[in-house]
Amino acid sequence: MIRPFVRLTSFAFAALLAALPSARAVPTRPSAAPNEVAALAPNEVARLLGNAFAAVAEKVSPAVVILTVTRRGEDADRMLWSPEEAPEGPFDSLPRGPRRLPIPRDSGETQGSGFIVRADGYIYTNCHVIQGAEKIKVRLKDGRTFDAQVVGVPDEKTDVAVIKINARDLPTVELGDSDAIRPGEWTIAIGAPFNLDYSVTVGVLSGKVRDHLGTAMYEEYLQTQATINPGNSGGPLLDIEGRVIGINTLIRTRNGAGFSFYNANVGFAIPIKLAQKIGTLLITKGRVERPWIGVDIRTLAEDPEMRPFVKGLEKGVVIKTIRHDGPAQRSGLKPGDVVTAIDGTPVATARELQKLVLERQVGQMIRLAIVRNGKPLTVEVKTGLQPASMPLTLRQTPSLGGALVYGMILQPVTKEVAEQYALSEKNGLLIMEVADDSAAARAGLAPGIVITEVDGRKVASPLVFREAMKRADPKRGALLQISRDGTRSFVVLRMHSDEAEPSR
């Protein structure tokens, strides 16, 4: 039976016909348009499509690299997970936050992926793949191995990092246009999931500009149906022409079928347009410098507590917190102000405000149109240089539908975090935010408190915290050892029946 015309891209169709010398002739229509292909039988369509995927894999794989990262001590403990502590999701991710999915090989080692962007040895990957690395080994498709060095300061806020190997005339990828690709188009992922090097998976692009996941400060993920798993981190997401449109970085998982977790075909990639901007800065300047005004914000439409105080105002961004060390502290802004425009450009969401600020220069004066107590005002703020580690600055304050852990946003306490927030505790989980009406809020937990143990079990990551809470007696609750300003105490965290699993 002959099917109607099938459209394929020029690269895909040309490559596939070349790969099918024995394909039999098929009927054609005399009036077929130049960009249309003659009608094909179903098995021929499948064969051509399969060869298109194979052609992409053959074209790109030589520029894809496998990373083996060696860590020591606490850094290795934070990055590795055991089957008993496997992520329970749903957004258990390859990047920061839940950071335990680079696939473990031997003790202290994890494996990830990357791709070569310059013939002189520059490679893009994820920040979380190489974070805390003592040694990075890069292996090419042809079997050659190299030691790699980190270029500049990896950007935790986007989870983009650049490394370099000492080599020349290397194969490189072609960068595509992540803005142009449309949902429904084919995407292809190449990487090393579970130590299975150069695995190729395919699926359609499911969506664009996915945010509210709570896994990175700047979220504009591409969502793909192509299966990605631990070890795919840092590898390329490709279009049907074999061009890189994203860096694979995040997956959605869930429990079931007797497995501790499995991929739900909901994967996320950093758009290559954003990654290339960050990568270029790391290569040329060694770091990413961003302007900020020092506020925590939330979209008005998603802030039901604030809306009764601004009746008649439908769109805007609520100033939730003004940081004591930020530029806004020296301006006329106040918590509760609703920003409606920046330099004359209307803003309706926290993401829009964030982008407009990031487009400015450090030290530039900006004019904010605000509403305070029902009256319109204008406030000027001079942007400052955003600190290197401010995980919640200028980001959307998540609602309960975001990536909260039992109503809290938790940050692992590292040496840098302890120094930044003057913490007496050097290990544990720092509470950054607590959702109203959550179990955590009812227990009296608040930002600034450090959770050190759950039922006697030390917790160093959100994933370990979730696992410990899952094991707790739901009737008795979990006993949390906490520290606030150096004073240690405990609280009992009890979950209602409808909170038995974390809301994500």
Residue-wise pLDDT tens for the chain (504 aa)?
Answer: 333 333 334 444 444 444 443 434 434 444 445 555 567 777 888 888 888 889 999 999 999 999 999 876 544 444 433 333 333 333 333 333 333 344 444 456 888 999 999 999 999 999 888 988 889 999 999 999 999 999 998 888 888 999 999 999 999 999 999 888 888 888 999 988 877 788 898 888 887 766 554 444 556 788 887 878 778 889 999 999 999 999 998 876 554 444 444 455 778 888 999 899 999 999 999 988 888 898 888 888 887 767 777 778 889 998 877 777 789 888 888 878 899 999 999 999 888 898 899 889 899 999 999 998 888 999 999 999 887 655 433 333 333 233 457 778 888 888 878 887 888 788 899 998 888 778 888 888 988 899 988 888 889 888 888 888 888 877 767 878 888 776 767 788 877 654 444 333
Q: Is residue 393 part of a domain?
A: no
The reply to whether 496 belongs to the active site is: no
Q: Is residue 144 part of a domain?
A: yes
Domain boundary pick from 264, 290, 316: 290
338 and 471 together in one domain: no
477 and 419 together in one domain: yes
Q: Is residue 2 part of a domain?
A: no
Q: What secondary structure letter does DSSP report for 72? A: -
Q: Model-level pTM?
A: 0.61
Domain boundary pick from 18, 35, 59: 59
412 and 375 together in one domain: no
Distances (CA, A) of 209 to 269, 351, 443, 495: 10, 11, 35, 33
Q: Is residue 399 part of a domain?
A: no
Parallel, antiparallel, or unpaired: how do β-strands 174-175 and 243-256 relate?
parallel
| 3 state SS for 329-389 | HHCCCCCCCEEEEECCEECCCHHHHHHHHHCCCCCCEEEEEEEECCEEEEEEEECEECCCC
**Domain CATH number, residue 330:** 2.30.42.10
Question: How many angstroms separate the CA atoms of 49 and 13, rounded?
Answer: 8
Q: Is residue 396 part of a domain?
A: no
Which residue among the candidates 93, 113, 128, 303 is catalytic per the annotation?
128
User: What is the predicted pLDDT for the residue at 389?
Assistant: 58
Q: Is residue 397 part of a domain?
A: no
Residues 237, 246 contacting (CB under 8 angstroms)? yes
208 and 305 together in one domain: no
333 and 236 together in one domain: no
The reply to whether 128 belongs to the active site is: yes
Cβ burial of 84 (10 Å; 0-12, 13-18, 19+) is exposed
268 and 153 together in one domain: yes
Q: Is residue 218 part of a domain?
A: yes
Domain boundary pick from 290, 325, 349: 290
Which residue among the candidates 92, 155, 159, 239 is catalytic per the annotation?
159
User: What is the predicted pLDDT for the residue at 489?
Assistant: 73
140 and 211 together in one domain: yes
In single-letter form, the type of residue at position 231 comes to: G
**Domain CATH number, residue 88:** 2.40.10.120
Q: What secondary structure letter does DSSP report for 221? A: E
The reply to whether 331 belongs to the active site is: no
| Number of structural domains the chain divides into | 4
Which residue among the candidates 233, 331, 438, 483 is catalytic per the annotation?
233
For residue 54, give its domain range. 10-59
425 and 381 together in one domain: no
User: What is the predicted pLDDT for the residue at 253?
Assistant: 58
Q: Is residue 90 part of a domain?
A: yes
User: What is the predicted pLDDT for the residue at 82?
Assistant: 34
User: What is the predicted pLDDT for the residue at 210?
Assistant: 60
236 and 157 together in one domain: yes
217 and 184 together in one domain: yes
73 and 47 together in one domain: no
178 and 71 together in one domain: yes
Nearest to 256 by CA among 452, 119, 86: 86
